[in-house]
Structure 1
Amino acid sequence: MSFVDEVYSLYRDQLNDDEDDAVAIVLSILEEQSREHVLQMIEQMTDDEVVQMVGVYLVEMLKMKMMQDGKLPSFRGTPTSSQVH
């Protein structure tokens, strides 16, 4: 079972039709993790999962930069630079 499956199983009843729920849960989980533990989780991922993770990260960071430059409207629930590094 992947980490995502485990998190979904644990928080399934708390996830509604608002993606802010997922963002809050993920940020809460990550705040509790050490860098070493996060790297251990990444080591357990398949190559495809790592590429997908980095791809999602890059897209979100580019969207954030575009919002900062006024090229995209800022939306409620969008993580701020202090939440996402």
Structure 2
Amino acid sequence: MSFVDEVYQLYRDQLKDDEDDAVAIVLNILEDQTRENVMQLIEQMNEDEVVQMMGVYLVEMIKMKMAQDGKLPQLRNHNSTQRFH
């Protein structure tokens, strides 16, 4: 079972119809992790998961940069933009 599956199973009853729930859970989990912990999780991923993770990261970071340049409407503030750049 992947880490994502484990997290989802653990928190599935707390996730409602709003993506803010997922963001809050992820930020809470990451807040307690060291770089070494995160790298261990990445090492356990298969190649497709690593590529997918990087794809999602790059898309979100580019969207954030585009919003900063006024090319997109301002993104909703999840406090994630301040933690991840």
| Structure number having the greater helix percentage | 2
Asked if structure 1 preserves the Cα contact closer than 8 Å seen for 2:14 and 2:21, the reply is yes
> Paired residue for 1:68?
68
Report matched runs for 1:35-50 at 5 Å: 35-50=35-50
> Paired residue for 1:29?
29
* Percent of aligned positions that are identical: 73
CA–CA separation in structure 2 for the residues paired with 1:80 and 1:74: 14
For structure 1, which runs of at least 5 residues remain unmatched after alignment? Answer: none
Asked if structure 1 preserves the Cα contact closer than 8 Å seen for 2:67 and 2:75, the reply is no
Which TM-score applies when normalising by structure 2?
0.93
For structure 2, which runs of at least 5 residues remain unmatched after alignment? Answer: none
Q: Which amino acid aligns with 1:61?
A: M
CA–CA separation in structure 1 for the residues paired with 2:40 and 2:75: 33
Which TM-score applies when normalising by structure 1?
0.93
Count of residues paired in the alignment: 85
After TM superposition, which residue ranges in structure 1, 4 or more long, deviate above 2 angstroms?
75-81
